[in-house]
Chain A
Amino acid sequence: DVKVTQSSRYLVKRTGEKVFLECVQDMDHENMFWYRQDPGLGLRLIYFSYDVKMKEKGDIPEGYSVSREKKERFSLILESASTNQTSMYLCASSQGQGGTEAFFGQGTRLTVV
């Protein structure tokens, strides 16, 4: 089974802190994604990556950056956390091209106070 593991299930940070969310997948997938899930808004794509050291902006990249130094690991960085970044963050991975299915981690619920 594909496993996508996010480093924290729950996280509480203070406004202005730099926050790192880590994600690791164990199936050698090329593609990795960070989504944000909010009630009534569904999942919105923050950033994605098709290869090591490669990144592309999604629909809501403002206030976030990412890092992919190794194929299996994709990090989401909140440069200066704000209360409007309180949300559930989901990492996902998929294989190759052509619109394949994505496999999701369990999510990190981040609260910024």
Chain B
Amino acid sequence: AQSVSQHNHHVILSEAASLELGCNYSYGGTVNLFWYVQYPGQHLQLLLKYFSGDPLVKGIKGFEAEFIKSKFSFNLRKPSVQWSDTAEYFCAVTPNSGYSTLTFGKGTMLLVSP
């Protein structure tokens, strides 16, 4: 079975600071990787995903993530955060074949102060 570890439970940044949220996964085969975001009072929505190809993937709202296979990592980055990025961020992994389920990390709560 797969597992996901997110490095930080809470992150506090000032506006315009750079962001990097760590995510490591454990699984013996090939995976698909996701970052989801949950803004206050809203439903969980997809930020970006990696299935194959270029390991640097770009998502919505200026976010990007890099898949490093040798490190089993899929870290989320944004060069300059905004107050509106305040949200909870979840990394998720699923095997890329067969019927499979998403396994989520415990989440990172990001608070951006204006």
Which residues in A have some Cβ–Cβ distance to B below 8 Å?
31, 33, 35, 40-45, 48, 50, 58, 90, 92, 97-107
Are B32 and A99 in touch, CB under 8 angstroms?
A: yes
B24 to chain A, nearest CB (A): 14
Q: Which residue of A lies closest to B46 (CB)?
A: A101
Q: Which residue in A35, A41, A98 is a CB contact (below 8 Å) of B98?
A: A98
Q: Which residue in A33, A42, A104 is a CB contact (below 8 Å) of B43?
A: A104
Residues in A whose Cβ lies below 8 Å from that of B31: 99
Of listed B6, B44, B46, B104, residue having the most chain A CB within 10 A? B44
Residues in A whose Cβ lies below 8 Å from that of B106: 40-42
Are A99 and B96 in touch, CB under 8 angstroms?
A: yes
Q: Which residue in A97, A98, A102, A106 is a CB contact (below 8 Å) of B102?
A: A102
29 contacts between A and B (CB under 8 A): A31-B99, A33-B102, A40-B9, A40-B106, A42-B90, A43-B90, A44-B104, A45-B102, A58-B101, A90-B43, A90-B44, A97-B97, A98-B96, A98-B98, A99-B32, A99-B51, A99-B96, A99-B100, A100-B32, A101-B34, A101-B46, A101-B49, A103-B46, A104-B43, A104-B44, A104-B45, A106-B42, A107-B43, A107-B44
